[in-house]
A and B are shown apart, each in its own frame.
Chain A
Amino acid sequence: MKSIFKSTSKLLVAATLVMGFGASSLMAEVKDKFQVSWTIYVGWMPWDYAQQKGIIDKWAKKYGIEIEMVQVNDYIESINQYTAGKFDGCLMTNMDALTIPAAGGVDSTAVIMGDYSNGNDGILLKNKKNLTDIKGQTVNLVELSVSHYLLARALETVGMSEKDVKVLNTSDADMVAAWGTKDVTAMTTWNPQLSEIMAGNKDANLVFDSSKTPGEIIDMLVINTETLKDNPKLAKALTGAWFEVMALMKKGDEAALTFMAQASGTDLAGYKSQLDSTMMFYTPSDLLAFTTSAEIPATMKKVSEFSFEHGILGEGAPDAEFIGMAFPGGKTFGDPKNIKLRFDDTFVKMAAEGKL
């Protein structure tokens, strides 16, 4: 019996060591192969196009590295995998970057803020035309997501708060079916579900959308800060590839847009209408202006306060300033000793100056 004990304990030590090596690969080091995870969304389809058409490969080769864009079907799963150390970079919104990797202690840097939602997220009411009619209703939404944040901001604009409504967590995949049921009278969701519901239901009225809170729901490329520090080539290659695709989109390249439309499961017209409610930054100089604007710290302060009030800033967060954030120009928000989310203009600036 004793010998069985000994050998199992040896096995245990060995297995723990293996796990240890797995975890230590989280530690940054100079490497030449990188993986970035992405999910289907109007503002992220250019990444898929860049990958499929060899634009990423071209830029990666220029810097002597390899980059693989990995498509993950579930958006949250993609961020969770990044947070757990499986990916070097990931595409996510500003709010999720704060509440998932940053709250999970993973120091992340937003390298490219590709676009912001300018009507892509909205609040729908059945047979009612005014936002104030939402009082007392049950609102179907993906709880603790940007939809939840948008609802809170919308209620603020009409002097109400979340106490005036009831929130019902509903999966984003089931929103369209949910709208057809009798009990659903109010909903906050995003595209393509949002436009799908409005196109198919005469009783759906859009009473508020993200164009009324511009620049607050930002879609960005996030890279692990340690990895970035040791491998700035990764950010340089990705930024170069991104603006090459942006130039095509700015020209209105039909072939490229059709490719993105089909990859996201819609057609050219559908994709263009989604782009209409998305504020894309097509040129490095436009994006640089947005990245260095005073709006970003102000927005992140609001997002941080919302996240704290809903208990998603992580355990032991005593206030909304628990997680520190750094912005271009040396500005910070929150605890400067616990900076876990950084907004970086280095690479966009290089793109603007043509130095990539």
Chain B
Amino acid sequence: MKRLMNLRPSKQSLFFLGLLPFVLVALFYLGASEVRLAANPDDKLLPSMSSFAEAIDRMALTPSKRTGEYLFVEDTVSSLERLGLGVLISAVLALLMGIPLGFIPFVRAGLSPFVAAFSMVPPMAILPILFIIFGMGELAKVALIVIGVTPLIVRDLQQRVMEIPVEQLIKAQTLGGTSWSIVLRVVLPQIFPRLLDAVRLTMGTAWIFLISAEAISATEGLGYRIFLVRRYLSMDVILPYVAWITFLAFLFDYLLKRFTYKVFPWYDAGKEQS
């Protein structure tokens, strides 16, 4: 007897099934939007497709009346700069801290409880302190991302370093490796793809911190724009921005995955076996 669990979708239906939820959500939206707009043609909560088109045209394709720049491009560029810088700094810091924490017992003994405790501090709650230390400019926004994301990656990397089979480390020592050379030749190459994995997983968190930082004080940015027009319930601007952020996040995730696969083909292969 054919069981449901053994039925496999064909290539065609695989594509169709994947698309289905998107189509359903879109249809649901259109229906609900139609009903609300029939009751009040100026309703702003669920705008029609044509208001989206107008909003996109206004934000992305028409230069701003006040500055002459394209707001959408400006917002995207400044947000990506902050996000990129924040994530890059976090990754480097995490690498510099995660390896010693996982590799050197004395460093672990001294720092591990502190890092674990520090990672539990909700950055949004101590925001006023961060303002005083880092000011209200770009530095504070990047710092918020770094403070929010770094502890997560550090703890993940520490775990990964500790998971390196002890046999490898003993072998390397019998071959005359010093602590330093073992870090460079054994630990680092194995940890690098795992760092990229950790960055992928924390990307969502990084976006949250970016948007919160921009909501607090900014003159441009994707999060800034959303919080600014939220005052006027301009869902015609907010929803395209949300879709764009989602797409960018998806794209980064995909690119990092492809990059890891290209540069460290053994990493994915290893995972498939286990």
Contact = CB atoms under 8 A, between A and B. Distances in A.
Contacts, number: 112
A275 interface: no
Given A16-B35, A23-B35, A24-B39, A103 B128 contact: no
15 contacts: A1-B13, A13-B31, A16-B31, A20-B32, A23-B39, A26-B39, A83-B233, A104-B42, A105-B41, A106-B40, A169-B227, A170-B216, A171-B217, A177-B132, A183-B136
B41 A312 contact: no
B203 to A, nearest CB: 25
A12 interface: yes
A184 interface: yes
Given A12-B27, A26-B40, A174 B233 contact: no
Nearest to A180: B132
B169 interface: no
Report the 7 A-B pairs with minimum CB-CB distance, sorted nearest first.
A105-B42, A177-B128, A16-B31, A20-B35, A19-B32, A170-B217, A104-B44
B28 interface: yes
Contacts of A105: 40-44
Interface in B201-230: 215-219, 224, 227-228, 230
A6 interface: no
Given A15-B28, A169-B224, 13 more contacts: A12-B24, A12-B28, A16-B32, A76-B231, A83-B233, A100-B231, A103-B42, A144-B228, A144-B232, A169-B218, A181-B135, A182-B135, A184-B136
Contact of B131 (A20, A144, A177): A177
Contacts of A180: 128, 131-132
B51 interface: yes
Given A8-B24, A174-B127, A169 B217 contact: yes
A143 interface: yes
Given A27-B39, A314-B42, A104 B233 contact: yes
Interface in A1-38: 1, 8, 12-13, 15-16, 19-20, 23-24, 26-27
Given A12-B24, A84-B45, A177-B128, A23 B36 contact: yes
Interface size class of B (residues with CB under 8 A): 35 or more
Interface size class of A (residues with CB under 8 A): 35 or more
A233 B4 CA distance: 61
B32 A140 contact: no
Nearest to B32: A19
Interface in B29-53: 31-32, 35-36, 39-45, 51
A174 B217 CA distance: 9
Contacts of B45: 83-84
Contacts of B28: 12, 15-16
SS of B interface (majority): helix
Contact of B51 (A144, A177, A315): A315
A84 B24 contact: no
A253 to B, nearest CB: 36
Contacts of B137: 183
B36 A315 contact: no
A20 B54 CA distance: 25
A104 B43 contact: yes
Nearest to B234: A315
A315 B48 CA distance: 13
A171 B233 contact: no
Interface of A: 1, 8, 12-13, 15-16, 19-20, 23-24, 26-27, 76, 80, 83-84, 99-100, 103-106, 140, 143-145, 166-171, 174, 176-178, 180-184, 311-312, 314-315
A174 B131 contact: yes
Contacts of B232: 99-100, 103-104, 144, 312, 314
B219 A168 contact: yes
Contacts of B230: 76, 80
B61 to A, nearest CB: 16
Nearest to A171: B216
Contacts of A23: 32, 35-36, 39
Given A16-B31, A83-B233, A168-B219, A181 B228 contact: no
A22 B207 CA distance: 33
Nearest to A323: B42
Nearest to A142: B231
Contacts of A170: 136, 216-217
A24 B27 CA distance: 20
B236 interface: yes
Nearest to A80: B233
B40 A183 contact: no
Nearest to B36: A23
A140 B231 contact: no
